[in-house]
Amino acid sequence: MEVRLLEATEDPEELICTGARNDYSEPFVGDQTFEETMETVEGDSLEEKKETLIGHLLSHGHYGPFEHPQVTFAVEGISRSCMAQITRHRHVSFDVQSMRYVSFDDVDPADVREGEMVVVPPSATDPDWVGRNQKTGQVDEETVAERDEIFRDTVADAVESYQELLDLGMPPEDARFVLPIGTKVNMVMSMNVRMLMHIADMRAAADSQWEIRQMTEELLDLAKDWCPITFKYYEENMKNRKNRLAP
């Protein structure tokens, strides 16, 4: 998979702090410079003041100001299964690549065996992989080789059948019914900072599936560059605790 940050609010933490200071400020924040707005916040520099205020907001559960900054990510090559999981989050806006209008008619089924078009889960190839809902633990090389073969044969056959149906004039929107749930999809998604932390609470957690966890970790890495004080605090003090952003 590939995850990129497409667009994001400039100065997200200035916006978070301005929103929060508005709540306790008699003067109108719209008429003030950011320095004036932050004047009474503890800290020697503006950066320190932002750290003080953001830490205070997060430690007290004052999450509203984190709904102001918006970020848009583009995600390439996750499974339709992972897509179904992430699109359950209702405060995120999505654009999902269509299988009604995009027909994968030029993909070589031989390449599908090698990971083109369908995501290959680690449990199909790694004998040491222990998934959360796996009934057995580690397996021997022979068993995983068998899994690998069954998995790759099945997905390559499915893509071949899909393309035969297209050749027989079946509309892509109906021919897609034979494709696996692991079929890759591209997505664009937009959310605010509070929602990103909520997604991380739920989807970076140990009981989430490996694919959505990996995607979430990549979202968090990008978020750390974009909104550094907030996501540093999140990483150090909030990550992996019980979900509290939306109790």
Ligand X SMILES: Cc1cc2nc3c(=O)[nH]c(=O)nc-3n(C[C@H](O)[C@H](O)[C@H](O)COP(=O)(O)OP(=O)(O)OC[C@H]3O[C@@H](n4cnc5c(N)ncnc54)[C@H](O)[C@@H]3O)c2cc1C
The residue from 21, 113, 152, 203 that is catalytic is 203
241 near ligand X, rule: CB under 6 A: no
Residue 216: other Cβ atoms inside 10 A = 21
**Closest to ligand X by CB, 72 or 85:** 85
**Closest to ligand X by CB, 142 or 207:** 207
CB of 91 to ligand X, least distance (A): 6
Residue 22: C-alpha distances to residues 7, 10, 60, 189 (Å):
26, 19, 17, 29
Q: How far is residue 125's CA from residue 108's CA, in Å, rounded to a whole number?
A: 21
Contact 232, 223 (CB under 8 A): no
Quick check: is 213 catalytic? Answer: no
CB of 189 to ligand X, least distance (A): 12
Residue that the structure tokens 């222990």 belong to: 130
CB of 125 to ligand X, least distance (A): 23
Contact 230, 65 (CB under 8 A): no
For the segment 69-88, give every residue that binds ligand X (CB under 6 A): 88
89 near ligand X, rule: CB under 6 A: yes
Residues that bind ligand X (CB under 6 A): 88-91, 198, 202, 207-208, 246
